[in-house]
Amino acid sequence: MAAEPVIQLRDITKRFPGVVANDGVTVEVGRGEIHAVVGENGAGKSTLMKILYGLYRPDAGEILIRGRPVALDGPRHALHLGIGMVHQHFMLVPGFTVTENIILGSEPASHGRLDRARARAVVARLCQQFGFRLDPDAQVQTLSVGEQQRIEILKVLYRGAEILILDEPTAVLVPQEVEELFTNLRRLRADGKTILFISHKLDEVLAIADRITVLRRGRVVGTVAAGATKAALAEMMVGRPVLLALERSPAAPGELMLEAQDLTVADGDGRALVRGVSLAVRGGEIYAIAGVEGNGQSELVEALVGLRPLAGGRVLVGGAPVARHTVREARSRGVAHVPEDRHRRGLVLPMAVWENLILGHHRRRSFLRGPFLRMPAILEFGRQRVAEFDVRVPALRTPALALSGGNQQKLVLARELAFQPRVLIAAQPTRGLDIGATEFVRRQLLAARAEGRAVLLVSADLDEVLTLADRIGVMYNGRIAAEFAHGEATPAELGLYMVGTERKGREGAP
Partner 1 sequence: MSPRVRLTVLQAAAPLVALLLGVVVAAAIMLALGHDPVATFALMASFNLRPASLASIAFKATPLIFAGLAAAMAFRVNLWNIGVEGQYYIGAFAAAMVGFGLRGLPAVIHLPLTILAGVAGGVLWALPPILLRLRRGAHEVITTIMMNYIALALVHYLLADVFRDPAQAGTPRIRTPLLAASARMPGLHDALALAGIELPGHSALNWLLPVGILLCVALALLLSTTRAGYEVRAVAHGAGAAEAAGIPLDRVHLMMFAGSGALAGLVGLNDLLGFFGYFDVDFPKGLGFLGISVALLAKNHPVGIIFAALLFGYLDRGAEGIQVFSRVPREVITILQAVTILAIVVAYEGVSRYLRALRTREAAVPGAATPGPEAA
Instruction: Enumerate residues 107-146 that contact partner 1 by CB under 8 A.
Output: none
Tell me the window of 254-262, 399-407, 449-457, 498-506 that interacts with partner 1 (CB under 8 A).
399-407
The closest alpha carbon to 79, from 88, 70, 92, belongs to: 70
Which residue from 326, 377, 419, 422 is in contact with partner 1, where contact means CB under 8 A? 326
In terms of CB distance, is 57 or 383 closer to partner 1?
383
Tell me the window of 62-70, 258-266, 273-281, 385-393 that interacts with partner 1 (CB under 8 A).
385-393
Contact status, residue 410 vs residue 440, Cβ threshold 8 Å: yes
- If one asks whether residue 89 binds partner 1 (CB under 8 A), the answer comes out as no
C-alpha to C-alpha distance for 36 and 215, rounded to whole angstroms: 11
Count Cα neighbours of 421 within 13 Å in the Cβ-side half-sphere: 30
The closest alpha carbon to 416, from 335, 348, 298, belongs to: 335
Tell me the window of 79-87, 144-152, 394-402, 448-456 that interacts with partner 1 (CB under 8 A).
394-402
Instruction: Enumerate residues 404-443 that contact partner 1 by CB under 8 A.
Output: 404
In terms of CB distance, is 280 or 379 closer to partner 1?
379
Instruction: Enumerate residues 10-49 that contact partner 1 by CB under 8 A.
Output: 16-19, 21, 42
Helix (H, G, I), strand (E, B) or coil at 167: strand
Tell me the closest approach of the beta carbon of residue 420 to partner 1, in angstroms. Answer: 17
Instruction: Enumerate residues 328-367 that contact partner 1 by CB under 8 A.
Output: 328, 330-331, 337, 339, 341, 344-351, 354-355, 358-360, 362-363
Contact status, residue 37 vs residue 213, Cβ threshold 8 Å: yes
In terms of CB distance, is 258 or 391 closer to partner 1?
391
Spatial strand order of the sheet with 34-39 comes to 83-86, 163-167, 194-199, 34-39, 211-216, 219-225
Instruction: Enumerate residues 443-462 that contact partner 1 by CB under 8 A.
Output: none
In terms of CB distance, is 258 or 305 closer to partner 1?
305
Contact status, residue 35 vs residue 195, Cβ threshold 8 Å: yes
Instruction: Enumerate residues 187-226 that contact partner 1 by CB under 8 A.
Output: 217
The closest alpha carbon to 37, from 255, 196, 241, belongs to: 196
DSSP category for residue 454 = E
C-alpha to C-alpha distance for 401 and 399, rounded to whole angstroms: 5
Burial of 136 (0-12, 13-18, 19+ CB in 10 A): buried
Instruction: Enumerate residues 232-291 that contact partner 1 by CB under 8 A.
Output: none
The contact set with partner 1 (CB under 8 A) reads 16-19, 21, 42, 217, 305-307, 326-328, 330-331, 337, 339, 341, 344-351, 354-355, 358-360, 362-363, 368, 371-373, 379, 382-383, 386-387, 390-397, 399, 401-404
